[in-house]
Structure 1
Amino acid sequence: MKIALFSDVHANHPAFEAFLSDLDREKLDAVYCLGDLIGYNIWPNEVIAEVRRRGIATLAGNHDLRTNEYAYELVAPDNRAFLSTLPAHIKLEYRLHDQNITIVMAHGSTRSINEYVLEELDENYILEMMREAKADVLCVGHSHKPYHRVLRDADKVKHVINIGSVGKPKDGNPHGCYVLLSIDEDCGLSDPQAVHVEFRRVPYDVEKAMQAIFDSPLPDELASRLLNAN
């Protein structure tokens, strides 16, 4: 089983187009978006329209719910209605050898849309959150900083994955980031090799995305952040 996970496009259509071109070369079982389709750039309607056209299951991000910002004012009424229907979490269950494996997706965390599940977060805190959510694999976005962390919980191995950002990376690499997640059905939950995570980086026309910010009422500093990925 192989699925693609992406997040935090933030209305960056040039980055989104490059991501989709890369995505379409893969043979996938499913694609999921972990939120923040809008914010920080001028193409929210183009991004939302393509997500809707493709029928991509999508979570609500914190920016998708902010109704008092310039970026939200750009969103067409039908797309605003779409954003208002997005769920907070997605949960998947797969058969893994002789056990079930549960994948839980959230934008920030399972507890709050605005919480950052950073790589250095206390292990006991994360495990408590994952037990609460009944998650073997927790996939999040929001921080724009990709990582894959493997934790042990009794006789199980658990995985925490931040899938990074397609449209506004903050890890020093300006190329868009998404994840290909593969599950090996022949492994058990105690085997760390049961879950394979590939981080894909996709170059795009950063200058075009920056110029769109300069030509808009958005703060110019957002453009430099695209180039510096911070």
Structure 2
Amino acid sequence: MKIAALSDIHGNLQALQAVLVEAQEAGADVIVNLGDIVSGPLWPQQTAALLQTLALPTIAGNHERQLLTIPLPRLGASDAHAVRELQPPQRDWLAALPATRWLDAEVFCCHGTPGTDLQYLMETVTADHQRDGAPGVRAATAAELAQRLGDCRARVVLCGHSHVPRTVQLEYDGQAMLVVNPGSVGLQAYDDDHPHTHRIELGSPHARWALLERRADGQWRVEHRETPYDWASAARQAELNGRGDWADALLSGFVGRLEREVLRT
């Protein structure tokens, strides 16, 4: 069995289309979508409409919850753009998505952690942003992972939210647990201030996703993929919608202009 794990598409239709082609070519039996689907200054309505037709196993991320429940004047710019663009059929589809799901008896899907969509599972935010160049975030320890997983005992846990592609293997009572974040299809760098200021930078503009294969012996093979697409076009769309911070991140995989600077101008 082959699973293509996608997360954090953020309305990047062109990146999604490129990843879907590669996932098919790789022989994926199922493609799972781990949330944060439409928020951003790109193509939210078209992205949701395409995913509706595909009917992939899908969960909601924190941005789905936010844009459906928070009044428009209180939303961040990325969520507000999506709200203005989405049509009722797409909003209804997003509203029906579960926060977590079991893909099968072995594979559990969540956006952040099993208990919350706002906390990174595999990364820990620190209070040292820009101290000697520190990004304000580091890989979670095994103890932190165990605490955030709680009583979840799946063979494989698929998560998103941080946009950082990573695989970690833990062990509980002699049973291996594989925790996999496929990274972000749609946005390769950003800055954030929850719960402290930090930045995520993947260093290239390629769309990230993961291909997992359950072998005949029951072991799982994980391959992290980096897919090229027309990121210059995506950056132009971001600029057109007043989001130079997104344009910089889409073109480079590094944080350039900051959201607060762009929205202040």
Coarse TM-score class (shorter-chain normalised)? 0.7 to 0.9
Q: TM-score, normalised by structure 1?
A: 0.88
2:141 to 114, 118, 122: 122
**Equivalent residue, structure 2, for 1:227:** 251
CA contact (8 A) 2:5 2:211 kept: yes
Alpha-carbon separation, structure 2, partners of 1:71 and 1:93: 31
Is the counterpart of residue 199 in structure 1 residue 224 in structure 2?
Answer: yes
Q: CA deviation at 1:89?
A: 0.7
1:168 to 178, 181, 187: 187
**Equivalent residue, structure 2, for 1:99:** none
Q: CA deviation at 1:154?
A: 2.9
- In structure 1, give the amino acid aligned to 2:85: L
Alpha-carbon separation, structure 2, partners of 1:65 and 1:112: 11
Q: Size of the alignment, in residue pairs?
A: 216
Alpha-carbon separation, structure 2, partners of 1:200 and 1:50: 22
Q: TM-score, normalised by structure 2?
A: 0.77
**Equivalent residue, structure 1, for 2:13:** 13
Alpha-carbon separation, structure 1, partners of 2:151 and 2:244: 41
- Structure 1 residue ranges (4+ consecutive) displaced by more than 4 angstroms after TM superposition: none
Q: CA deviation at 1:131?
A: 5.2
| Gap runs ≥5 in structure 1 | 95-101, 188-193
Structure 2 counterpart SS, 1:31: strand
| Gap runs ≥5 in structure 2 | 73-79, 124-138, 190-201, 255-265
**Distance change in 2, residues 1:77/1:93 (3 Å):** closer
Is the counterpart of residue 51 in structure 1 residue 51 in structure 2?
Answer: yes
Alpha-carbon separation, structure 2, partners of 1:93 and 1:12: 28
Alpha-carbon separation, structure 1, partners of 2:141 and 2:44: 35
Alpha-carbon separation, structure 2, partners of 1:103 and 1:130: 14
**Equivalent residue, structure 2, for 1:190:** none
Structure 2 counterpart SS, 1:181: strand
**Equivalent residue, structure 2, for 1:108:** 112
**Equivalent residue, structure 1, for 2:65:** 65
CA contact (8 A) 1:176 1:203 kept: yes
Q: CA deviation at 1:174?
A: 1.0
**Equivalent residue, structure 1, for 2:134:** none
**Equivalent residue, structure 2, for 1:30:** 30
**Distance change in 2, residues 1:93/1:82 (3 Å):** closer
CA contact (8 A) 1:109 1:140 kept: yes
Identity of aligned residues (%): 30
Q: Name the Cα RMSD after superposition.
A: 1.6
String of CA shifts for 1:3-55, please: whole Å, max 9, x gaps. 11101111111111211221221322211100111112231121111111111
Alpha-carbon separation, structure 1, partners of 2:65 and 2:42: 17
**Equivalent residue, structure 2, for 1:181:** 212
- In structure 2, give the amino acid aligned to 1:159: L
Alpha-carbon separation, structure 2, partners of 1:229 and 1:125: 27
